[in-house]
A and B are shown apart, each in its own frame.
Chain A
Amino acid sequence: MPRRDVYDRVMDTFNRFDGVRVAITGGTSGLGLALVDELHRLGARVAFVARTAERVNHVAREHPGAAGIVGDVSRKDDIYPIALQVTGNLGGLDVLVNNASSLGAVPLAPLADTDCEALELALATNLFGPFRLTKALLGALASSARQGRGGVVVNISSDAAVNAYPQWGAYGASKAALAHLTRIWNEELAGEGIHLISFDPGDMDTPLHALAIPDADPAALKRPETSARELVDVIAAALARETAQVVT
């Protein structure tokens, strides 16, 4: 890519994220961490959520100004404490990225060999977690939308939500449900100026992928940084569309 294009793209993106308030779940590894990196670099005000205090503190130290929040989106009782810290630290919210995901069964297993508890875990993390957290933060997102700052929710999807891959039953079913929930909710909230988007980042070299397919060749997988940049462009486009609508 010619250098000039790179410069324009960076400056353009930078301006679009200066001061934008973003919350990312699963923000200490894989795609979530790459998103924290990218958005922090672009001037966004970032809050990220993950389960392990040590990891949260480590990532927070490496991203001055970002707010690290310890919490587990699969636990109902963690949702409001997370929402309180997100809106408290950021003073509102413009973008929520529901990225934290669980495979359910590890190692992957055919559905007939999948424990009910494993399916429940996949649903709790990949469906109920995003539903509950989005619902708790909907007031903040709608307030942002009314003020012309946008209001965007990204739910991380997968091609396993569409295709019937053997062994991916718990994960695939939960992601399919999430994708459908995203479409319906997006219809319902259009009047509030809130956009819900499904984003499939592709097969990435992440800890989650390594758990699923331990012997995959990392060189054949997408870098999470690449997917993060693609997602940032998607978010920027959604924000631009929404702020343009409010102005007119």
Chain B
Amino acid sequence: MIAATSPVQRPRGAKLLVVRADGELVHAPRSSFVEFLNRGDLVIANDAATLPASLHGVHLPSGGAIEVRLAGYAAGSRADAPRFVAIVFGAGDFRTRTEDRPLPPALAADDRLALGSLVATVDTLLDHPRLVSLHFEGRSSEVWAGLARHGRPIQYAHLAEPLAMWDVWTPMASVPVAFEPPSAGFALDWAALRALRDRWIAFATLTHAASISSTGDPELDRRLPFDEPYEIPRATAAAIRRAKARGGRVVAVGTTVVRALEHAARRRGGIRAGRGVATGRLGPSTCLRVVDAILSGTHEPDSSHYQLLRAFADDDTLARASAALEAGGYLTHEFGDSMLVERTRPACADAPACYWLSNSPTTLPSVSATRA
């Protein structure tokens, strides 16, 4: 597929490939997304705002130029004292393909990195010359000020012009915890929310700290996505129970929403409100308990996003969809076209409809906690 090279969230001609539950493929304008939903469905988006997570500066021990890309939250990170997993590149910027970027100077624990007005200290090396965990010095408000002044959105060589913050915040962007935009949400604007409401389709959000999507290094890319903290509001968990009880579908906007919801529902008792950390990858061996359909970007078969789609549809259907995307000239990457994939594979046997009808654990069928 061809990469979308201009940072327009909702281009007029955006396309949508619908993969129906019966395997039928439908081509449509993306603006008609809502027409493929039913009264009673529940659309759930990720309202994470995107951090300006690319920081240029100097590796102080060597004086070498570096670019630090904050990539995820490290274990033990707290809201008031965040610790980050970071990818470190040598000299250069996004205009060079990540595959071609030089390694940074040799990094060691306790190395200090000057990044604009910010100073970061390397906590640990993470088994790769580019990968470290780090924290910033100073009070929380100073770190936010430094990020706001000096940070830039992470971007890749397929976009020629530097991205601005307004290019990467979805209309629903709320708390800045994502390292790259939950870009499936670009498709939704406020008029779309209104259209959902007018058709008795519910809308809710969760917050999922989407980690970096690509590093340019095959070994690191195999470790993606990193562990991702998420928070599911009580109102959202309640909306899911109501939707399931009335026979509506849960439609996830983006892979991050699927990750959060399926992680939160991995144990008996249905969906849990509150915080969690989504680990592992979803793929062909995952059985979905919550999500019935996904609105997503278009993904190449070698990506982790594509692997997640295999939880929704069998390989034959996805292969036909990929061929249709290719033949239809669909654009890929974060500003590209979209697909709506309805679940063709059966849901978890331990998640029948009645599972959702009660909040009382005593009436639930006995389920074993299967990990995705």
Chain A residues at the B interface, C-beta cutoff of 8 Å = 60, 67-70, 80-85, 87-89, 91-93, 136, 138-140, 142-144, 146-148, 188-189, 191-192, 246
Contact = CB atoms under 8 A, between A and B. Distances in A.
Contacts of B197: 191
Nearest to B171: A139
Contacts of A139: 47, 49, 169-174
B21 interface: no
21 contacts: A68-B141, A70-B145, A84-B49, A85-B144, A87-B49, A87-B174, A87-B175, A88-B147, A88-B176, A91-B175, A136-B169, A139-B49, A139-B169, A139-B173, A143-B174, A143-B175, A143-B205, A146-B233, A146-B235, A146-B236, A147-B235
A144 B207 CA distance: 12
Given A88-B144, A138-B171, 5 more contacts: A80-B166, A143-B207, A146-B205, A147-B235, A188-B190
B79 interface: yes
Contacts of A189: 190
B140 interface: yes
B175 A92 contact: yes
Nearest to B173: A139
B175 A84 contact: no
A189 B194 CA distance: 9
Contacts of A81: 148-149, 165
Contacts, number: 88
Interface of B: 47, 49, 51-52, 79, 140-141, 144-145, 147-149, 164-166, 169-176, 190, 193-194, 197, 204-205, 207, 233-236
Contact of A192 (B47, B140, B193): B193
Contacts of B234: 147
B316 to A, nearest CB: 39
Contact of B175 (A68, A82, A140): A140
B164 to A, nearest CB: 7
Contacts of A88: 144, 147-148, 175-176
A225 to B, nearest CB: 26
Nearest to B147: A84
Given A139-B47, A147-B235, A191-B197, A84 B148 contact: yes
Contacts of B190: 138, 188-189, 192
B147 to A, nearest CB: 7
Contacts of B207: 143
Contacts of A93: 174
A139 B189 CA distance: 10
B52 A84 contact: yes
A85 B141 contact: yes
A117 to B, nearest CB: 25
Contacts of B173: 139-140
Nearest to A144: B174
A89 B141 contact: yes
A140 B193 CA distance: 15
Nearest to B166: A80
Contacts of A89: 140-141, 144
